[in-house]
Amino acid sequence: MRQLAIFCVILRAETIKRIFGLIEKHIVLEDIDTVVFYGVGNSHLQMIRSLYPKLRIVARDNVIRVLGDEEQMAAFEESVEHIRRHILKFNSLREEDILDIIRGGHSRDIPDDVVVYSMSGRPIKARSENQQRLIEAYKENDMVFAVGPAGTGKTYLSIALAVKALKEKTAKKIILSRPAVEAGEKLGFLPGDMKDKIDPYLQPLYDALEDMLPQVKLQDMMEKHIIQIAPLAFMRGRTLSDAVVILDEAQNTTPAQIRMFLTRMGWNTKMIITGDMTQIDLPRTQKSGLIEALHILTGVEGIGVVNLDRRDIVRHKLVTRIVNAYEQYDKETAADRS
């Protein structure tokens, strides 16, 4: 009897749909943070429902189930797609954005000076003249060297440019790499397997990505190898095409390593190589590959070089003072030796 009652309810619902010309669709929100879409306490979802009173809208996880007439359904689907694109661009959604999209059929544009938006909705853009030069050099060249002290935004801005390329589909993947060179410690003393030993060296790259992409989406992209993070040694033998490739901490590469890395470049690929000449952790007898590469490649067509300095530091004001103090110490030490 219970099964018969359930069948009758389903049959009645299907009959109502046919009589009134209603259709049902399921819309899957795959590549955005649903919390941003639905709003705190489902506030955005409730607002969308109020703007489409003729539709029955039910959301669970990342699936929106909609029941209504065909005309209203088409308008709703279009609005959801515009809202989805808005969230992809801005990583945020306001009530006025929803109104603009549903009533006006469009969302606001990203200002020209903004690269991407962080997960908190903060615009990521150049904060100094040399950072702007880095952005311009990336646009004009297929390979860019960004050299400067700690805190000048080299890595963060480079990853922002890569995320922008991925969102705009001018690149199919992001590949991030670092040499696993110890700053006074030894890999062998770290606990765990090789991945556990390597991950601490790659953590700054994870941190930057997590600030620009939803956690679930980032994890999905890494599982599908759309975003790849690997030690420099794992690059040998590869051809890197249709990608933005970033080599971070390049001052700690040997001449052979950086030569190997630079020759991995394939079609439709951009490379950004970052480094800080004041933080070379190689043995004293080992020459930095970054220093040699800059000497050999400066002036080669298609390669841009951007030098950042202490004026570009965007961290805590003490970082600038620390960098200044060490620069003064290095000059005094060099003078004493001479």
pLDDT in tens, 163-205: 999 988 999 999 998 887 654 445 455 555 555 656 677 788 8
Q: Which residues of the chain have pLDDT under 70?
A: 1-21, 105, 181-199, 315-317, 338
* Amino acid 6: pLDDT: 42
List the end-to-end C-alpha distance of the chain, in Å, as a whole number. Answer: 99
* Amino acid 11: pLDDT: 42
Question: Which own/partner pairs from 314-322 qualify as long-range (CB within 8 Å, at least 24 positions apart)?
Answer: 314/127, 314/128, 314/151, 314/152, 314/153, 315/150, 315/151, 319/150, 319/151, 320/151
Residues in the chain: 338
Question: What is the rounded distance in angstroms from the CA atom of residue 172 to the CA atom of residue 92?
Answer: 24
pLDDT in tens, 276-325: 988 888 888 889 999 999 999 988 999 999 998 888 777 666 777 777 78
* Amino acid 147: pLDDT: 93
The CA-atom distances, in angstroms, between 48 and each of 26, 100, 102 are 16, 12, 9
- For the entire predicted model, the pTM comes to 0.77
How many Cα atoms are found within 13 Å in the side-chain-facing hemisphere of 110?
Answer: 23
Backbone angles phi, psi at 182, to 5 degrees: -80, 140
Q: Are 226 and 174 in contact (CB under 8 A)?
A: yes
Burial bucket for residue 205 (CB in 10 Å: 0-12, 13-18, 19+): buried
